[in-house]
Amino acid sequence: MASSAQYFLLSSLLFFFFLFFSPSFAQQSFRPKALVVPVSKDASTRQYVTQIEQRTPLVPINLVVHLGGKFLWVDCDQGYVSSTYRPARCGSALCSLGGANGCGDCFSGPRPGCNNNTCGVSPDNPVTRTATGGELATDVVSVNSTNGSNPGQAVTVPRFLFSCAPTSLLEGLASGVVGMAGLGRTRAALPSQFASAFSFHRKFAICLASNGVIFFGDGPYNFLPNVQYTSQSLTFTPLFINPVSTAAASTQGEPSAEYFIGVTSIKIDDKTVPLNSTLLTIDSEGNGGTKISTVNPYTVLESSIFKAVTETFISEAAARNITTVDSVAPFDVCFSTENVLSTRLGYGVPTISLVLQNENVTWSIFGANSVVQVSDDVLCLGLVNGGSNPRTSIVIGGYQLENNLLQFDLATSRLGFSSLLFGRQTTCSNFNFTSIA
Ligand SMILES: *[C@@H]1O[C@H](CO)[C@@H](O)[C@H](O)[C@H]1NC(C)=O
Ligand SMILES: *[C@@H]1O[C@H](CO)[C@@H](O)[C@H](O)[C@H]1NC(C)=O
Ligand SMILES: *[C@@H]1O[C@H](CO)[C@@H](O)[C@H](O)[C@H]1NC(C)=O
Ligand SMILES: *[C@@H]1O[C@H](CO)[C@@H](O)[C@H](O)[C@H]1NC(C)=O
Ligand SMILES: *[C@@H]1O[C@H](CO)[C@@H](O)[C@H](O)[C@H]1NC(C)=O
Ligand SMILES: *[C@@H]1O[C@H](CO)[C@@H](O)[C@H](O)[C@H]1NC(C)=O
Ligand SMILES: *[C@@H]1O[C@H](CO)[C@@H](O)[C@H](O)[C@H]1NC(C)=O
C-alpha cells in the first residue's frame, strides 16, 4: 500500500507532467502565428509529399498533398498504433464538421478504423479516382510553428479530425506515404482546422519544388537569401466556388472543395490565343473553368484549348527560330534546344500569360514552368491534352506551380500569387529548415 507521502509525490509528479507536457496547456502558453511543413517531390510519381507527426506516441507520417482534398485521410489498417485515437461518435459535432454521410457499426474491431456507433465519410484518391468508406476519428497531430523564417517549437492539436481509410486506397500514391493531406476549402481540411485550433487567419501558402514548403497562417514568408514575401509582393485574384463536387465521391448538392480561378483569356508573347470562352466558365452542372491541382503533374487542357495553345506557342517559338522535333510522351509538342537561350526565368521560350479578372492581372508562365527538358537536346511543352469533354477545362498542374508562392485566403476567397521566385533570385527550396526551437 502506498504511503500518503508516496501518494503525494506521485500526484505532484502527475500534476507536473500535466502542467508541462499536456498539449492543451502547451497551446495556452504558446500560440503560434503560423505553422510550417516541408514538401518534397516524389521522383517517380511526381507527387508532392509532406510530413506531419500524429498519434501517441507521435510518429512522423508522410502524406501526398491534395490541394483540393476535403480532409486528412490515413491508412488505419496497417501499423496504426495510438493511445489517443478516438472514433467520432454518431451524432456528435465532429460528424457534421467532417461532413459525415452515414453512421454505423463495424464487426471486425474494435481497432482504429473499425468501431461501433461511429460516423463515416468517403476518403478519395484523385490519382486513381477511387473512393472508399472511412471511419471519422480524432487523434493528436503535431507540426512546427514558424516565425516565417525558420521552424520553431512544435505545437500540438490534441483532437485533429481525420478519416481512416483501407490500405487499398494508397494505390497509385508515392511509396512510403500513408494517406493524403487535404488542403481544400472545407472546415475539416488542414488549413481550417489549424486556423481554428490556434486562432490564426484562415490562410495558407504553398511553394512547391523538389524540396518546397507549405505554410499555414499568414506571412511574411521568408526565403534565403533574405527574400521576403508579404501581401504587398503578391498579385490577387478571386477564388471561385464550383457548385458541384469534383471529388470521386460526394453527396448531392455538395460544392467542390477545390480551388478555381477565373482565367478569361490566354496570351502567348502578347498574341491572344483564340479560345471558346464558354469553356472558361463554370456552368450550372459544374463543368468547365480553371482549377489548381497538386495531383496533376502537368497542366491539362481541354482538347480545343490544347490545340489552340500549342499552335500559337509553336508559331511564337518559330519566330525565335526554335524548331519542333518528334514528340516525347506524355507530351505532344517538343523543340530542339538549338537556338534556345537560357535566362534567369528558365529557357527563353515564349511566355504564356493567363489573363485573369482584367487585362492587367496576369499569371505569367515562363520557361522554367512551361518547358520540360527531356534530354540534352530536346525540350517539351509541359502541357497535356485532356480530351474533348473533361470535367474542368484547365487544370493547372504541379510543374506549372513550382517555384511560385501561392497564398490561399479562405476568409476573403482570393488567391495571391508571386510569379516565379527566380525573378527575385530565390526558389521554393530556399526556406531555411534549420530549427530555432
Ligand atoms: C459492435 O456491436 C456488435 C453487436 O451489436 C458486436 O457484435 C461487435 O463486436 C461490436 N463491434 C465493435 C467493434 O465493438
Ligand atoms: C520540426 O522541425 C524539425 C527540424 O526541421 C524536425 O526535425 C521535426 O521533425 C519537426 N517536427 C514536427 C512535429 O514536424
Ligand atoms: C525568426 O527567428 C530567427 C531566430 O531567432 C531570427 O533570426 C529571424 O529574424 C526571425 N524572423 C522573423 C521574421 O521574425
Ligand atoms: C464552346 O463550348 C461549349 C461548351 O463545351 C459548346 O457547347 C459550344 O458549342 C462551343 N462553341 C463553339 C463555337 O465551338
Ligand atoms: C532566325 O534565323 C534567320 C535565318 O537564319 C535569321 O535571319 C534571323 O535573324 C533569326 N532570327 C532570330 C530571332 O534569331
Ligand atoms: C490597366 O492598367 C492601365 C495602365 O496602368 C490603366 O490605364 C487601366 O485603367 C487598367 N485597367 C484596369 C481594368 O484596371
Ligand atoms: C538558417 O537559420 C539558422 C537559424 O536562424 C541560421 O543560424 C543560419 O545561418 C541560417 N542559414 C543560412 C544559410 O542563412
pLDDT tens figures, 10-65? 333 333 333 333 334 444 468 999 999 999 999 999 999 999 999 999 999 999 99
Whether a cis peptide bond, with omega within 30° of 0, leads into 23 is no
- Identify whether the C-beta of residue 400 lies closer than 8 Å to the C-beta of residue 116: no
Atom of ligand 4 nearest to the CA of 276: 1
**Which residue's alpha carbon is nearest to atom 5 within ligand 7?**
436
Residue 159 to residues 54, 116, 191: CA-CA distances in angstroms?
Answer: 10, 19, 15
Closest-CA residue, ligand 5 atom 3, reads 321
Indicate which atom in ligand 5 lies nearest the CA of residue 339: 14
Strands (E), 170-281: 179-182, 203-207, 211-217, 221-223, 227-229, 235-240, 259-261, 265-268, 271-272
> For the domain 229-430, what is the CATH code?
2.40.70.10
pLDDT, position 250 = 83
Say whether the peptide bond before residue 220 is cis (omega within 30 degrees of 0). yes
Query: What is the CB < 6 Å shell around ligand 7?
Result: 150, 224, 432, 434, 436
- Which residue owns the Cα nearest ligand 4 atom 10? 276
- Of ligand 2's atoms, which has the minimum distance to the CA of residue 435? 4
Residues in contact with 270: Cβ distance below 8 Å, sequence separation at least 6, in sequence order: none
Protein residue closest via CA to atom 4 of ligand 1: 107
Mutate to test the pocket of ligand 7, among 432, 433, 435, 436 (most ligand atoms within 8 A of CB): 432
Q: Cα of 435 to ligand 2 centre, how many Å? A: 7
Ligand closest in space to the Cα of 107: 1
Report if pTM > 0.85.
Answer: yes
Instruction: Give CA separation, 230 vs 10, 68, 194, 204, 405, in Å.
Output: 50, 24, 20, 12, 11
Q: Where are the domains of the chain?
A: 33-220, 229-430
414-431: b (≥16 Cβ within 10 Å) or e = bbbbbbbbbeeebbbbbb
In this structure, which residue's CA is closest to atom 6 in ligand 2? 435
State the pLDDT at residue 308.
98
The residue contributing the CA closest to ligand 7 atom 11 is 432
Separation between Cα atoms, residue 403 and residue 428, nearest integer Å: 5
Q: Is 277 in the pocket of ligand 4 (CB under 6 A)?
A: no
Residue nearest to atom 13 of ligand 4 (CA): 276
Burial class (CB in 10 A: 0-12, 13-18, 19+), 20: exposed
Q: Choose the residue to mutate in 265, 356, 357, 359 for probing ligand 6, maximizing ligand atoms within 8 Å of C-beta.
A: 359
Q: Residue type for 52, please?
A: I
Q: What is the pLDDT of residue 233?
A: 94
What is the DSSP-derived secondary structure letter of residue 256?
A: P
**Nearest residue by C-alpha to atom 7 in ligand 7:** 434
Pairwise CA distance, residues 414 & 335, whole Å: 36
| Residue ranges with strand state E in 109-168 | 118-121, 124-125, 130-131, 134-146, 151-165
Look at residue 9 in the predicted model and tell me its pLDDT: 34
Give yes or no on whether 33-220 and 229-430 have one common fold: yes
pLDDT at site 16: 38
C-beta of 321 in contact with ligand 5 (< 6 A): yes
The number of the ligand 2 atom at minimal distance from the alpha carbon of 143 is: 13
Amino acid type, 230: T
Q: How far is the CA of 34 from the centre of ligand 3 (A)?
A: 13
Alpha helices in 294-408 (DSSP H): 303-318, 367-370, 398-401
The β-bridge relationship of strands 259-261 and 265-268 is: unpaired
> Atom 14, ligand 3: which residue's CA is nearest?
147
Distances, alpha carbon 351 to alpha carbons 4, 313, 403, in Å: 78, 9, 16
Task: Calculate how far, in angstroms, residue 109's C-alpha sits from the geometric centre of ligand 1.
Answer: 7
User: Which residue ranges of the chain lie beneath pLDDT 70?
Assistant: 1-29
Give the CA distances from residue 93 to residues 99, 119, 128, 161, in Å, rounded to whole numbers and listed in that order.
10, 11, 31, 11
Q: Which residues line ligand 2 (CB under 6 A)?
A: 53, 142-144, 151, 154, 433, 435
- Ligand 6 pocket: which residues have CB below 6 Å? 358, 360
- Report the separation in Å between the CA atom of 432 and the middle of ligand 7, taken as the mean of its atom positions: 7
Distance 218 CA to ligand 6 centre (A): 29
| Tens-digit pLDDT profile for residues 254-265 | 999 999 999 999
**Class for the domain spanning 33-220:** mainly beta
Cα 108 to averaged position of ligand 1 atoms, centre (Å): 8
Q: Which ligand is nearest to the Cα of residue 118, counting in written order?
A: 1
| Ligand 5 contact via 168 beta carbon (within 6 Å) | no
- The dihedral through the CA atoms of 410, 415, 418, 420 has a sign that is positive
